[in-house]
Amino acid sequence: MKPQSARVPVEQRPCRNVSNEALRQKSCSGEKIGTRRDSRDERGNTPRTVGDAPQVCAKLFTYKKDGLQALTPAARLVALGLLLAAAGCQAWRRFPLPHDHPPAAYDEATFARKSFASFKITARNGTPVDTVIGKAGTYRVREGDTFLDIARYYDLGYNEIVDANPSVDPWVPPVGTTIVLPTEWILPCCSYEGLVVNIPEMRLYLYRRTPGDARTLIVDTLPVGLGRDDRRTPRGRFTVRGKSVNPTWIIPQSIRAEHIEETGDTRTKIPGGDPDNPLGKYRLELTLPRYTIHGTNIPWGVGMQVSHGCARLYPEDIERLFPLVPIGTRGEFTYQAVKVGTRGGATYAEVHRDIYRYVPQLRRAAQAALKRRGLGEQIDETALARALQEERGIPVRVSRRRGIAAMLRTAN
């Protein structure tokens, strides 16, 4: 989480109607959400900001059940159709459409009904033919919105929506602002089996085979929260060795000492179902010692570096993932700040912040990724350099656009 540049005066009244009870209690009691260091500080740039919850809780977490206002869904579709017809087919191809209508209110019931990113893609010998999935969308900010709830509703990590919209205040986004929903991803290279968690991206991918259909691969992708800088999520391969519902948290001695020092909490374990249990309702136990994939009692931590190294998912996401992952599933925590892939013959690059500062040169990482995929030729160096500089976590086309003559020669 990044430090905030513009502080919002605290209003002397309690927070109301916060969608997540744990967040309301923590933020309104004055406890900091935590900060995430922007790796670009070392390059001389001013960090982008996300702020501290206590500074803005009174303003930010009072949601108005104002619905969608103005137009009905049918009227909006008619208006959109007229707009696109007037603009012509070229505008149709460029126009980024929202995924669906926003909810009337953000609450746990709404989040439980949200959509999840799942794709059926064509594979050849177990390898995807195209490695870019999804489609970016847009969202128009309503009164009371924050990036926390927008991200959760569209199943994004907080990091993803902040990085995709660097010029927008994540705590008090201006009403009416159109923001990017970064719901398009390049698959991490080059394992397409079981669970893959890309650490800089803070996103999990689950690959499943379609029974009786070797040419179809199902990909589910979900955001995660990972280890803070002093307790980094490790790289490495693992196997799912167990699964548990309402797991009891046996507090490791090092974490217990931290709790005693910070809060005076001397407990050695927290039973399943307790609101203070950070594991949530479901847990996947891994062969990596001390590390698991689990839910959370604090959903705002998804897309942030706030854990002691484990991967945390939104409660509704781990509930969906849990039955899809049998014991024995193989997986990997990988570290790919730069991903490259293809769709429709074009090459794309997706660049994320180097959160643990493992990558001294992103340019060199990009060249290695292109070589690994066999995509080093015909690259638009200007487009690639821009993607590396911006680090927005959005797939950007970096292959040169072929002229009509070259396309005709290929066709013949």
- Indicate which residues carry an active-site annotation: 294, 310
DSSP codes, 276-321? T-TT-SEEEEESSTT-EEE--S-GGGTTSEEESSSEE--HHHHHHH
410 neighbors 403 (Cβ within 8 angstroms)? no
- Give the Cα separation of 286 and 282 in Å (integer): 13
In this structure, are residues 95 and 208 in contact, taking their beta carbons and an 8 Å threshold? no
15 near 28, Cβ under 8 Å? yes
| 179, two tokens | 């923001």
Quote the strand ranges of 69-146, DSSP E. Answer: 117-124, 127-128, 132-134, 137-140
The whole-angstrom separation of Cα 335 and Cα 356 is 9
What residue has token string 């569209």?
154
Is 313 within 8 Å of 295 (Cβ atoms)?
A: yes
CA–CA distance, 42 with 293 (Å, rounded to integer)? 31
Tokens found for residue 406: 């070259």
Q: Are 10 and 51 in contact (CB under 8 A)?
A: no
Distance of CA 64 to the CA centre of its chain: 26
**Whole-number Å distance between alpha carbons of 185 and 336:** 13
Residue 331 to residue 197: CA distance in whole angstroms: 8
- Decide if 162 contacts 50 (C-beta within 8 A): yes
DSSP secondary structure code for residue 394 in this structure:
S
Phi and psi (nearest 5°) for 79?
A: -60, -40
CA 284/CA 411 separation, integer angstroms = 50
**Residue 338 near residue 349, CB atoms below 8 Å:** yes
Read off the tokens for 32: 């900091």
